[in-house]
Structure 1
Amino acid sequence: MRKLWKLFALLLAFTLVAAACGNDDDDSSEPAPSAPTEAAAPATEAPAPTEAVEVDPTQGCDHTYHVITHGDSGTFWSVVEVAVRDAAAAIGCDVVYFGSNNDALRQAQEIEAAIAAGSSGIAISLADPAGVQSAAEAVVAAGIPLYTLNSGVNNYKALGATTHIGQTETVAGNGAGERFNALGATHVLCARQEQTNVALEERCNGLAETFNGQVTSEFVGLDATPDEQQNNIAARLQGDPTIDAVLGVGPNLPLRALAAGEQAGRELIIGGFDLSSDLIDQIEQGNVAFTVDQQQYLQGYLPVILMHLQATNLNTAGGGLPILTGPGFVDTANAADVKALVSQGTR
């Protein structure tokens, strides 16, 4: 087991160095990002907050770590949970995961409970920075290492977090804009599934920065109400015949856009964010042009490993910069390979 851990540590170190060397972007001008709370196969009702789940250790460990997010247990966040469990098994420690389903009050309460429990490290997402700021500051005040993941790239330094693990949302939106330019789009509807998630707004803003045509950013309904999303997109298409493309800033909205285009009798260029089996199927069939991949498995795995290294060996990573996990892109060229990993629950 010791040899395997040493090999793993070497591999992790190489990965972190490579990521840091490849990051020359200064995103300090961006507003606070947050990542998407996406659910593949949306339910008819909003999912309840994910209850805290303690991961059983595989060997003795005197530390307990907490990963407390705004996520649900849908397509995106279920991969993060798998990654947290895998990381817990690798270090042999208890790791408690909690997803608040965009309830900042619940998230803040769970952060405060982790402080009271004497956590050795707390990793949080910052979809609603104002809603959890006080709790996050309390983590640092208690002398507990704080990490941010998924959302928080512009806020983690001010809060005193060690580093941030995620993607730069504006840069991801920039890449989507360049893709739509190459595909010949002229007017993109940037469809958002949450009203208060600043990261989704950043994705649309980033799209507008690089796209040569017009961008309309609009909240079209929650993932828990897919029919509402489809109908709202269809109504927008019927009301503005110049819209010839849709960017869904999550993995479900591209599918709703596809159905809305058929409903409105329109052919669209469609792009998305994040991954689901259904979305990749549509990319393989040529119905969706691309999706932006932020590799959320890394966003669950790396914070646990980094918190453990800081607690046991006083290691810190990032060097004052975020550790970027994206953006990458999935299109027809690599969809089949990525699809196989999605079915395994790690992408």
Structure 2
Amino acid sequence: MDRTLHPRSRRLVPLVAVAAASMLLVAGCSSSSGGKKAQEEDGSGASAGKAGTPRMTIAMVTHAAPGDTFWDTIRKGAEAAAAKDNAKLVYSSDPNAANQANLVQNAIDQKVDGIAVTLAKPDAMKDVVAKAKQAGIPIVAFNGGVDDWKKQGILEYFGQDESVAGEALGDKLNELGAKHNICVIQEQGHVALEARCAGVKKTFKGTTDNLYVTGADMPSVKSTITAKLKQDSSIDYVVTLGAPFALTSVQSVADAGSKAKVATFDLNKDLVNAVKDGSIQFAVDQQPYLQGYLSVDSLWLYKTNGNFSGGGVAPVLTGPAFVDKSNVDTIAKFAAKGTR
């Protein structure tokens, strides 16, 4: 597979983070559903590559909604890094921004050694991020907040530039001859999701309509997309912002009797199979396993050796990269393990 990032990302002169192969082969401990409740992962069972550094505790606080398999992949990467780094990982999540901020405060109160946080709604996280810094706790951001992490004085950022990713997808639609797409946003006000659709609209030469759905209610997502497709037969592409929504959109297209094709951001095992069978045309991969792994490992490196990537000015980009029929077989073997 060609691992080169889309050309539009080159203008950012991103840093490329490379983890040693031995690190990535460490088995992560099993993950169980945590929802809003913090859970501890101690890395027990790791058989090789475990650091001899003092035990530390790292909190990961995300905006993940229950049932979204994308976050299982992020968590698996975080668990693998924690196992390698002799760290206890305390994972918690809540899609509500105020509740997520409270979870970060809980981590501060527990006096953890480092915090990895997503900034899906950065304004809601600003005050608690400042409190972590005041408490002397190093904090990194990942997945959401590429435009805000520096403003908040966060050490590092791991993820993709969502605007660049959206622009890349818009270019891809142009190459495929698309004329009219709907960009399905599952959470209004989520800065990364809004940026993706704005990027698509910026480069796509046809018409882009944003369609807001309630991501936590998949039957409603399905019916809303179906209704839109029935209403407007000129729509030839449905663009979704997550694998579960793409798979649901395939059902919506069938129910509506539409000829629209489906493309998406992000992967999971079922989505990879859908690309293989042609029901989904392509996906934009931001490598969530890598985001989770690097976020935890970076805090270990900072605490043990004072290392940090980007000098506080540049993000470490993990995407975008396209997955389609030309390379999906290569990706499939990793997706089957839950690492892509």
TM over 0.5: yes
Whether the 8 Å contact between 1:146 and 1:160 is mirrored in structure 2 is: no
Whether the 8 Å contact between 1:221 and 1:232 is mirrored in structure 2 is: no
Gaps of 5+ in 2: 14-32, 45-51
Partner SS for 1:71: coil
Post-superposition, which runs of at least 4 consecutive aligned residues in structure 1 deviate over 3 A? 22-27, 57-60
For 2:70, give the aligned amino acid. Answer: F
Partner of 1:3: none
1:311 matched to 2:297? The reply is no
Structure 1 residue 62: Cα displacement: 3.8
Give matches, 1:48-127, under 5 Å.
Answer: 49-57=35-43, 61-72=54-65, 74-100=68-94, 102-127=95-120
> Structure 2 CA distance, aligned partners of 1:303 and 1:229?
31
When residues 23 and 254 of structure 1 are mapped into structure 2, their CA distance, relative to the original with a 3 A threshold, is closer
Partner SS for 1:111: helix
TM-score normalised by L of structure 2: 0.85
> What is the percent sequence identity of the aligned residues?
36
Structure 1 residue 155: Cα displacement: 0.7
Whether the 8 Å contact between 2:179 and 2:207 is mirrored in structure 1 is: yes
Whether the 8 Å contact between 1:169 and 1:206 is mirrored in structure 2 is: yes
When residues 204 and 179 of structure 1 are mapped into structure 2, their CA distance, relative to the original with a 3 A threshold, is same
Give matches, 1:263-274, under 5 Å.
Answer: 263-274=255-266
Give matches, 1:217-228, under 5 Å.
Answer: 217-222=210-215, 224-228=216-220
1:193 matched to 2:186? The reply is yes
Whether the 8 Å contact between 1:174 and 1:209 is mirrored in structure 2 is: yes
Question: How many pairs are equivalent?
Answer: 307
Deviations 1:289-333 (A, max 9, x none): 101100001111101111111111111111210000001111011
Whether the 8 Å contact between 1:69 and 1:98 is mirrored in structure 2 is: yes
Give matches, 1:131-280, under 5 Å.
Answer: 131-222=124-215, 224-280=216-272
For 1:281, give the aligned amino acid. Answer: N
TM-score normalised by L of structure 1: 0.83
Partner SS for 1:236: helix
When residues 134 and 324 of structure 1 are mapped into structure 2, their CA distance, relative to the original with a 3 A threshold, is same
Partner SS for 1:188: strand
> Structure 2 CA distance, aligned partners of 1:237 and 1:48?
36
Structure 1 residue 25: Cα displacement: 3.2
> Structure 1 CA distance, aligned partners of 2:338 and 2:268?
10
Greater shift in the superposed pair: 60-69 or 85-94: 60-69
Whether the 8 Å contact between 2:53 and 2:85 is mirrored in structure 1 is: no
> Structure 2 CA distance, aligned partners of 1:279 and 1:253?
10
Structure 1 residue 23: Cα displacement: 6.0
Structure 1 residue 193: Cα displacement: 1.4
> Structure 2 CA distance, aligned partners of 1:234 and 1:50?
31
> Structure 2 CA distance, aligned partners of 1:112 and 1:220?
30
Superposition RMSD in Å: 2.1
